[in-house]
């Protein structure tokens, strides 16, 4: 099975849909985690700074500016690589003491917090969150913390999000493909079997995997349904065989009595009796056509399948109908070269071709043309019959294939409206299709046998 | 001709029996398969007419049983199942011909005559066929009526040959389609009639005595009765 088929399956699309949903929810979760973690860390930092500011303020009240400077110098030297940032400056912001070299460019928020970018010794830029306080009018003090942890955490979360979602995507795609592959294989089995059944082999059944899953359940039910249909079909066949026997036998009697009557009748009555015999025969012929269409359609007709030289069939049909066409002054031409073979039942195919010719000649007025041709196209074999008659309106082309359907203008012609139905039934039995087209003017009927290499 | 008819429908059977008796033949009748098979194996007949659906032993089984015991009496199978597949089954079982109900008696008679002649091998060695002043030479493929040579196309020649081989017998349209065109189904149209009228135009038109006659409700017959 092709990848494109697989990508179209419901399973795959469902997987894809769930994946998008999962993607969204994971992203939301990550954003939330990242947001709350950042918030928590910020609060921690803020609390630390607040505590330190409070502490330093107390030291200043007790020990004065010298004491404050001493304590800050001590804290800086105790942890030179730490995250703490201190700077003491005078009223005109000239730095006096601290572990940053100059008064920074500050961005402040509404709550009295400031932040600034600090350049590390190794060149990295890092954000510092800080508070400024003035223990006395000509003294400014910055107490801050580098928010290194926060940056690290954000980077970590971003990476986790990227890889996590990437792997999820890959797993979802593979899983989706595998699942759809699995489902498709089962569904294909169903399709294959039902196609064989539609082709007329009613004995086909879907193989169950024996796992008792929902597909097996479905297969079991379908198989049970097919069992029932098959037995019904057999019943119908049985009934129609019996009907054929039981109805045709009394009709035989009727016909035989009429023949007897005719022998003993006066010469004046024989014509009437002949008409009755002809009517009875017409009735029986219609009945016979109907039965044979039904039997061919139901697939119970055991066609004698062989390689049939379709070219020969077409030429024979042409030869058979040439005389009739001549009599009606219709120009009949034939183009059926060489030996083109199809697999089928020779008598049925010939009957289909003669029915098409018969129709074409019947509905073409004197002086018209009818042509039959057989062509080997790249992908199919095509028998086409074209006439210069009145044609069939596009909206009625499907209907003429139905039993007993007759165009209003053809009701005066003899026939029961079964000719094309029989051709259609024969075509279907051979896996061929019947196409009706406008021959402008007239009708063009094509009997198309698709490539039969796999038959 | 001695004929055995195995048929359960008494009306059809009466019709057949009366028809053959009137034509001067001897005909026995069995109304079920078992009796029929017994009569077929114990007596000698020229031809059997067997209905396909019978109480007891069916028509195909009778035919198969006879063939298995090396009895080659020609068998014509009668049936209401007018499908080619039934025809094939009938012929596979060893039947020599197959006729679908309903049929005109003349068609049955024509087919029975043809079967008997075939089994007697009469037609094998003939090189000329003739009726009245019409002569057909099968070797030179020349047709003459009186002194006049008649040119016929191959299919017309075959058609005339078949009619001549069954002269004085009725041949049906189905028989013609089967034997001249070699396709087996019942033609529902007048297409065969057109070929006959074309043949007629060639061999009868300029002569006083018509040879090809239409038998209404049955088919055609070539004879010299005028």
DSSP string, B62-120: HHHHHHHTT----EEEEES---HHHHHHHHHTT-SEEEESS--HHHHHHHHHHHHHHHH
What is the C-alpha separation between B197 and B191, in angstroms, rounded?
Answer: 10
What is the Rg, in whole angstroms, of the alpha carbon atoms belonging to chain A? 47
What is the Rg, in whole angstroms, of the alpha carbon atoms belonging to chain B? 19
Closest residue on chain A to B184 (Cα): A347
Specify the pLDDT at position A414. 58
* Residue among A251, A304, A324 minimizing CB distance to B88: A304
Whether residue B106 has pLDDT greater than 60: yes
The stretch B154-173 carries a mean pLDDT of 88
- Chain A interface includes B194 (CB < 8 A): yes
Q: Where are the beta strands (DSSP E) in A233-368?
A: 306-309, 331-335, 341-344
Q: Which residues contact A370 (CB under 8 A, 6 or more apart)?
A: A325, A330, A331, A332, A333, A357, A360, A361, A364, A385, A386, A387, A388
Å between B179 CA and nearest CA of chain A:
13
Q: Which residue has the higher pLDDT, A324 or B101?
A: A324
* Residue among B105, B187, B194 minimizing CB distance to A259: B105
Q: Which residue in the block uniquely carries the two structure tokens 């969150």?
A: A129
- Chain B interface includes A425 (CB < 8 A): no
Closest residue on chain B to A285 (Cα): B188
Lowest mean pLDDT segment, chosen from A218-232, B61-75, B91-105? B91-105
Whether residue B4 has pLDDT greater than 90: yes
* Residue among B11, B85, B194 minimizing CB distance to A253: B11
Specify the pLDDT at position A241. 64
Domain A3-153 has CATH 3.30.450: yes
- Contact (CB<8Å) A277/B217: yes
Q: What is the pLDDT of residues A323-369, one digit of tens each?
A: 899 989 999 999 998 888 888 888 889 999 999 999 899 889 999 99
Q: Which residues contact A4 (CB under 8 A, 6 or more apart)?
A: none
Q: Which residues contact A26 (CB under 8 A, 6 or more apart)?
A: A161, A164, A165, A168
Q: Which residue has the higher pLDDT, A324 or B55?
A: A324
Specify the pLDDT at position A372. 94
Closest residue on chain A to B83 (Cα): A292
The residue among A239, A242, A249 with the most chain B CBs within 10 A of its CB, best to mutate, is A249
Q: Confidence band (pLDDT; 50, 70, 90) for B216?
A: confident
CATH assignment, B2-120: 3.40.50.2300
| Candidate ranges A31-40, A108-117, A411-420; pick with highest mean pLDDT | A31-40
Q: What share of chain A is helix, strand, coil (3-state, %, to 5)?
A: 55, 20, 25
Specify the pLDDT at position B84. 52
Specify the pLDDT at position B49. 93
Q: What is the pLDDT of residues A313-334, one digit of tens each?
A: 999 999 999 989 998 999 999 9
What is the C-alpha separation between A215 and A272, in angstroms, rounded?
Answer: 66
Q: How far are the Cα atoms of A336, B46, B61, B113, B169 from residue B119, in angstroms, in the given order?
A: 39, 9, 22, 10, 17
Å between A312 CA and nearest CA of chain B:
12
Q: Which residues of A touch B12 (CB under 8 A)?
A: 249, 252-253, 256
Q: What is the pLDDT of residues A74-102, one digit of tens each?
A: 888 888 777 888 888 887 888 888 888 78
* Residue among B12, B105, B195 minimizing CB distance to A249: B12
DSSP string, A15-41: HHHHHHHHHHHHHHHHHHHHHHHHHHH
- Chain A interface includes B22 (CB < 8 A): no
What is the C-alpha separation between A348 and A361, in angstroms, rounded?
Answer: 20
The residue among A308, A324, A345, A346 with the most chain B CBs within 10 A of its CB, best to mutate, is A324
Could you tell me the residue ranges of all domains in chain B?
Answer: 2-120, 128-222
- Chain B interface includes A350 (CB < 8 A): yes
- Is-same-fold flag (A3-153; A214-297)? no
Element containing residue A70 per DSSP (H, E):
helix A10-78
Closest residue on chain A to B189 (Cα): A358
Which residue, among B105, B126, B92, has the nearest Cα to A252 in the 3D structure?
B105
- Contact (CB<8Å) A323/B195: yes
Q: What is the pLDDT of residues A283-316, one digit of tens each?
A: 777 777 777 777 777 665 555 677 889 999 999 9
Q: What is the pLDDT of residues B9-53, one digit of tens each?
A: 888 888 889 888 887 888 999 988 899 999 998 888 989 999 988
Å between B108 CA and nearest CA of chain A:
12
Q: Confidence band (pLDDT; 50, 70, 90) for B125?
A: low
The stretch A42-51 carries a mean pLDDT of 88
* Residue among B80, B104, B184 minimizing CB distance to A248: B80
Q: Are B137 and B147 in contact (CB under 8 A)?
A: no
Q: Are B204 and B214 in contact (CB under 8 A)?
A: no
In CATH, which of 3.40.50.300, 3.40.50.720, 3.90.180.10, 3.30.565.10 is domain A306-450?
3.30.565.10
Q: Confidence band (pLDDT; 50, 70, 90) for A454?
A: very low
Q: What is the pLDDT of residues A258-290, one digit of tens each?
A: 877 877 777 788 888 888 888 887 777 777 777
| Candidate ranges A300-304, A409-413, B58-62; pick with highest mean pLDDT | B58-62
Q: Which residue has the higher pLDDT, A219 or B88?
A: A219
Q: Which residues of A touch B103 (CB under 8 A)?
A: 252
Closest residue on chain B to A284 (Cα): B102
Whether residue B82 has pLDDT greater than 60: no
The stretch A121-147 carries a mean pLDDT of 82
Q: If contacts are CB pairs under 8 Å, which of residues 249-268 in chain A contact chain B?
A: 249, 251-253, 255-256, 259-260
Tally C-beta pairs within 8 A across A and B: 98
Q: Which residues contact A176 (CB under 8 A, 6 or more apart)?
A: A11, A12, A15, A16, A19
Q: What percent of chain B has pLDDT over 90?
A: 17
Q: Are A340 and A374 in contact (CB under 8 A)?
A: yes
What is the C-alpha separation between A264 and A242, in angstroms, rounded?
Answer: 33
Secondary structure class of B206 (helix, strand, coil): coil
Q: What is the pLDDT of residues A192-233, one digit of tens each?
A: 888 888 776 778 888 887 888 888 888 899 899 989 988 887
- Contact (CB<8Å) B184/A241: no
Whether residue A67 has pLDDT greater than 50: yes
Per CATH, which fold does A214-297 belong to? Helix Hairpins (1.10.287)
Tokens of A229: 């249909």
- Contact (CB<8Å) B186/A288: yes
Q: Which residue has the higher pLDDT, B8 or B101?
A: B8
Q: Which residues of B touch A302 (CB under 8 A)?
A: 85, 88
The ipTM (two decimal places) reads 0.73
Closest residue on chain A to B185 (Cα): A347
Specify the pLDDT at position A237. 67
The residue among A271, A297, A320 with the most chain B CBs within 10 A of its CB, best to mutate, is A320
Mean pLDDT of chain A: 82
Could you tell me the residue ranges of all domains in chain A?
Answer: 3-153, 214-297, 306-450
Instruction: Please tell me the class of the B128-222 domain.
Output: mainly alpha
Q: What percent of chain A has pLDDT over 70?
A: 91
What is the C-alpha separation between A124 and A174, in angstroms, rounded?
Answer: 42
Specify the pLDDT at position A455. 41
Specify the pLDDT at position A334. 93
Q: What is the pLDDT of residues A153-206, one digit of tens each?
A: 888 888 888 888 888 888 888 888 888 888 888 888 888 888 888 776 778 888
Strands A139-146 and A84-90: antiparallel
Q: Are A280 and A265 in contact (CB under 8 A)?
A: no
């Amino acid at each position: 099975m092709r990848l494109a088929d697989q990508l179209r399956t419901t399973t795959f699309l469902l997987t894809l849909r769930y994946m998008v949903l999962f993607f969204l929810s994971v992203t939301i979760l990550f954003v939330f985690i990242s947001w709350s973690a950042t918030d928590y860390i910020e609060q921690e930092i803020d609390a630390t700074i607040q505590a330190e500011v409070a502490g330093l303020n107390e030291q200043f009240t007790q020990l004065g500016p010298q004491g404050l400077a001493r304590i800050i110098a001590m804290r800086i030297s105790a942890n030179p690589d730490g995250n703490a940032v201190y700077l003491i400056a005078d009223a005109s912001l000239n730095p006096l003491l601290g572990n940053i070299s100059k008064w920074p460019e500050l961005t402040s928020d509404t709550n009295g917090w400031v932040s600034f970018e600090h350049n590390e010794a190794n060149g990295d830029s890092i954000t510092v969150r800080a508070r400024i306080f003035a223990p006395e009018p000509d003294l400014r003090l910055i107490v801050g913390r580098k928010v290194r942890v926060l940056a690290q955490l954000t980077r970590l979360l971003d990476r986790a999000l990227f890889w996590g979602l990437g792997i999820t995507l890959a797993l979802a795609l593979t899983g989706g493909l595998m699942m759809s592959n699995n489902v498709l294989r089962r569904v294909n089995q169903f399709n294959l079997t039902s196609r064989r059944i539609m082709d007329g082999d009613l004995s086909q059944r879907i193989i169950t995997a024996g796992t008792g899953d929902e597909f097996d359940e479905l297969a079991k039910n379908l198989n049970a349904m097919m069992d029932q249909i098959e037995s019904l079909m057999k019943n119908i066949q049985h009934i129609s065989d019996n009907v054929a026997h039981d109805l045709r036998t009394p009709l035989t009697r009727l016909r035989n009595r009429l023949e007897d009557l005719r022998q003993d009748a006066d010469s004046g009555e024989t014509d009437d009796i002949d008409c009755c015999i002809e009517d009875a025969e017409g009735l029986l012929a219609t009945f016979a056509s109907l039965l044979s269409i039904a039997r061919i359609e139901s697939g119970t007709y055991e066609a004698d399948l062989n390689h049939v030289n379709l070219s020969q069939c077409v030429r024979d049909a042409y030869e058979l109908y040439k005389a009739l066409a001549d009599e009606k002054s219709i120009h009949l031409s034939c183009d059926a070269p060489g030996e083109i073979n199809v697999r089928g039942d020779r008598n049925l195919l010939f009957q289909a071709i003669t029915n098409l010719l018969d129709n074409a000649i019947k509905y073409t007025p004197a002086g018209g043309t009818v042509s039959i041709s057989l062509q080997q196209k790249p992908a199919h074999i095509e028998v086409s019959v074209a006439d210069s008659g009145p044609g069939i309106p596009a909206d009625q082309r499907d209907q003429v294939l139905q039993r007993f359907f007759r165009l209003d203008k053809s009701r005066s012609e003899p026939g029961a409206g079964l000719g094309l139905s029989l051709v259609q039934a024969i075509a279907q039995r051979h896996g061929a299709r019947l196409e009706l087209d406008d021959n402008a003017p007239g009708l063009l009927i094509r009997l198309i046998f698709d490539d039969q290499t796999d038959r | 001709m001695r004929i055995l008819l195995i048929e359960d429908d008494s009306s059809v059977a009466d019709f057949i029996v009366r028809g053959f008796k009137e034509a001067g033949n001897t005909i026995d009748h069995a109304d079920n398969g078992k009796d029929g098979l017994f009569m077929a194996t114990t007596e000698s007949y020229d031809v059997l007419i067997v209905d396909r659906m019978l109480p007891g032993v069916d028509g195909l089984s009778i035919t198969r049983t006879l063939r298995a015991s090396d009895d080659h009496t020609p068998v014509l199978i009668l049936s209401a199942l007018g499908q080619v597949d039934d025809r094939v089954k009938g012929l596979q079982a060893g039947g020599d011909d197959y006729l679908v109900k309903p049929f005109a008696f003349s068609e049955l008679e024509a087919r029975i005559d043809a079967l008997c002649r075939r089994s007697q091998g009469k037609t094998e060695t003939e090189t000329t066929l003739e009726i009245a002043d019409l002569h057909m030479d099968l070797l030179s493929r020349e047709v003459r009526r009186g002194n006049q040579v008649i040119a016929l196309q191959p299919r017309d020649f075959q058609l005339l040959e078949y009619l001549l081989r069954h002269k004085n017998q009725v041949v049906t349209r189905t028989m013609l389609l089967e034997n001249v065109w070699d396709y087996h189904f019942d033609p529902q149209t007048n297409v065969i009639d057109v070929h006959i009228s074309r043949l007629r135009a060639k061999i009868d038109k300029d002569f006083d005595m018509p040879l090809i006659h239409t038998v209404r409700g049955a088919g055609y017959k070539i004879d010299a009765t005028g």
